Amino acid sequence: MDEQTPAPATPASRRTTLLWVIGGVAVILVGALVWFLVASNGVAEPGAEAGETTTVSDAPTPIPATATPTAVPPMETPSVDEFGRATAVPVPFEEPMPIENGITIAVTGLESVEGEAQIPGEVSGPAIRVTVDLRNDSAETISLRQTIVNLYYGDSLTAGNPILQPGGAPLPEEVAAGASATGVYVFSVPADDRERVRVEIDVDIDQTIVLFEGPVVG
């Protein structure tokens, strides 16, 4: 039997073959794209079962907030009360205190006395007699008509009750330029509660209130 020579491929068969090749390439590309998308969304951890993925986050790990540094306490400065009056930091009794307008105030005497009630409201008994000196170094006469002297004692700074005797003599109504003045004030204070005594001197509304503090023996 005679061998037959294969018939040459027709244009139609060549187109069919080309379509199959293009289809196969397309399938490969789609598969590669799917694999890339899956891989970009999760990375398999070692030991994880097939199909399990672990999401990788690009967000930084938050750093725990540190404690706020403790504020350094401010230095002692004159305080201001609700009425805008400045009050100086207390100083020892023996220390003179200069204030505005050339005035210098000092507590020059602290004596234990027996208070003598003279008018309603006063109480006889243990008392402290306070001597206050005021010097005017300004060039003008200074009025002392509004000057107030108070005394407080004990840890709670209880107000001592003012009395006139023995020897009470308040500051004069004014002090001339270059002159000095002296006032004596008596306050009822228990004999066993004098470890802390504070004398407050308020010359007038335009001046800083000054404070003298310390123990009083006797």
Does the pTM of the predicted model rise above 0.75?
A: no
CB 147 within 8 A of CB 185: no
Instruction: List all residues 6 or more positions away from 189 whose beta carbon is below 8 Å from its beta carbon.
Output: 126, 127, 128, 151, 153, 160, 197, 216
pLDDT at 85 over 60: yes
Locate the domains of the chain by residue range: 102-206
How do residues 139-188 score in pLDDT, each as one tens digit? 999 999 999 999 999 999 999 999 999 999 999 999 999 999 999 999 99
Residue 160 has what pLDDT?
A: 97
Partners of 104 in the beta sheet? 98, 135
What architecture (CATH level 2) is domain 102-206?
Sandwich (2.60)
Task: Decide the pairing of beta strands 174-175 and 142-143.
Answer: antiparallel
How do residues 120-144 score in pLDDT, each as one tens digit? 999 999 999 999 999 999 999 999 9
Instruction: List all residues 6 or more positions away from 205 whose beta carbon is below 8 Å from its beta carbon.
Output: 85, 146
Alpha-carbon dihedral 62, 63, 67, 71, rounded to 10 degrees? -100
Q: How far apart are CA 197 and CA 157, in angstroms?
A: 8
Residue 217 has what pLDDT?
A: 87
Q: How far apart are CA 208 and CA 178, in angstroms?
A: 20
How do residues 39-75 score in pLDDT, each as one tens digit? 555 444 444 444 444 444 444 333 343 333 333 333 3
